[in-house]
Amino acid sequence: MKRMLLLSIAALALPLAAQQTTAPAAAKSAPAPAPKQAAIVNGEVITVEKLDHMWNNMSVGFRDQYEKSGGKQAFLENYLRKRLVLQEAIKSGFDKRPDVITDMDAARESALFDRYVRDVVAAPIVSEADIKNYYQEHATEFAMPERVHVRHIVVAPFEAGPAKKTKEQALDRIKAIAADLLKHNMDVRGVESEAATRLRLIYFADAARKYSEDASASSGGDLGWKAKGELDPTFEEAAWHLLPGMMSGVIETQYGYHVIMLEERQAAGTQPYEVVRAGIREFLLTQKATDVMTAVNKLTNELRVTSKITLFPENVK
């Protein structure tokens, strides 16, 4: 969408006397299911719900960039790095500095103001019908080509540095990695197909973290969703002939020697309305910025008249 780049349940114990009667015991409420975990960082749980919320509220432009470079896994990796820095800041007491507290309060005020304007004040300006009409009338903007979600392990020859090796040595290494992965794949024969696919992906991602020599290693070799024309031609030719959960043989490209794993395949179609709705609304609001500002000014004028305010101009210098 190119134009949008602008933008516990506590259990109650029965009284002792009640427990001693012959009356049937009250049924206990079923405990709430534990939230799914996306990661644990030094004891801090990052839930799937929180991760999905951050992902879905990201601008369409940023999300598209992540889709091309590791998807939600890459986003999670970046967020984990941010949390590590924040944990260090809190551990050192940096968040207790008066100037830092002032800045955090200002940022909180700014976020609250922005969200209230967007979600409440501007609600009548861009209606749900407006958003749906735009979605329907600009269907081509939300068209998605057929895509594949791929992972890879790459080993390359280097003339110098700690990873120095010849082409022959690089080829020998990737062959050994591929052979080990193939053995793991053979070990899961007879396992229910969906579970077997998950196991293959887990083995592959672990191997990528250990052995791959590019930036995708930290995310288990995840290259994200790719459409035709976005990858090296030789790499693409091999990737597009794989089935989900299938691993390629050794592929040579200009970047080195690769082993590829196809994680998912997605047919051509249209991005769901729920996925792009927030981006469309943001775009339409930018088109009606004057109306939004008029609504904000009208509200502040009304509040200014009906509120009790005392000014001390002699203290403002």
Domain borders along the chain are 146-267
Q: What is the mean pLDDT of residues 91-105?
A: 96
pLDDT of residue 162: 83
Better-scored residue on pLDDT, 73 or 68: 73
Q: Distance of CA 235 to CAs 174, 257, 258, 259, Å?
A: 15, 10, 8, 9
Can you give the pTM of this predicted structure? 0.58
pLDDT at residue 260 above 50?
yes
Better-scored residue on pLDDT, 74 or 257: 257
Percent pLDDT > 90 in the chain is 60
The first and second tokens of residue 89, run together, are 């800041």
Report long-range pairs for 194-199 (Cβ below 8 Å, ≥24 apart). Answer: 196/245, 197/244, 197/245
Better-scored residue on pLDDT, 258 or 25: 258
pLDDT of residue 149: 93
CATH topology of domain 146-267: Chitinase A; domain 3 (3.10.50)
pLDDT at residue 63 above 80?
no
251: left (phi over 0), alpha (psi -120 to 50) or beta: beta
- The chain-wide mean pLDDT, for the chain, equals 86
* pLDDT per residue as tens digits for the range 46-56: 998 999 888 88
pLDDT of residue 28: 58
Q: What is the mean pLDDT of residues 60-70?
A: 76
Report the alpha-carbon distance of residue 233 to residue 163 in Å, rounded: 26
pLDDT at residue 69 above 90?
no
Report the alpha-carbon distance of residue 193 to residue 75 in Å, rounded: 29
HEC string for 163-202: CCECHHHHHHHHHHHHHHHHHHHHHCCCCCHHHHHHHHHH
Residue 215 CA to chain centroid, in angstroms? 17
* pLDDT per residue as tens digits for the range 110-165: 999 999 999 999 999 999 999 999 999 999 989 989 999 999 999 999 988 888 99
DSSP for the chain?
A: -GGGG---PPPPPPPHHHHTSSSPPPPPPPPPPPPPEEEEETTEEEEHHHHHHHHHTS-HHHHHHHHTTTHHHHHHHHHHHHHHHHHHHHHTTGGGSHHHHHHHHHHHHHHHHHHHIIIIITTTTS-HHHHHHHHHHTGGGGEE--EEEEEEEEE--BSSSTT-B-HHHHHHHHHHHHHHHHHHHHHTTTS-HHHHHHHHHHHHHHHHHHH--SGGGGGTTEEEEEETTSS-HHHHHHHTTPPTT-EEEEEEETTEEEEEEEEEEE-SEE--HHHHHHHHHHHHHHHTHHHHHHHHHHHHHHHHHHS-----GGG--
pLDDT at residue 38 above 70?
yes
Better-scored residue on pLDDT, 99 or 184: 99
* Of the candidates 154, 150, 179, the residue with the CA atom closest to the CA atom of residue 239: 150
Better-scored residue on pLDDT, 315 or 21: 315
Q: Cβ–Cβ contacts within 10 Å for residue 260, how many?
A: 26
pLDDT at residue 306 above 50?
yes
* pLDDT per residue as tens digits for the range 167-197: 999 999 999 999 999 888 777 776 667 888 8
pLDDT at residue 26 above 60?
no
pLDDT at residue 292 above 80?
yes
pLDDT of residue 191: 67
Q: What pLDDT band is residue 29 in, cutting at 50, 70 and 90? A: low
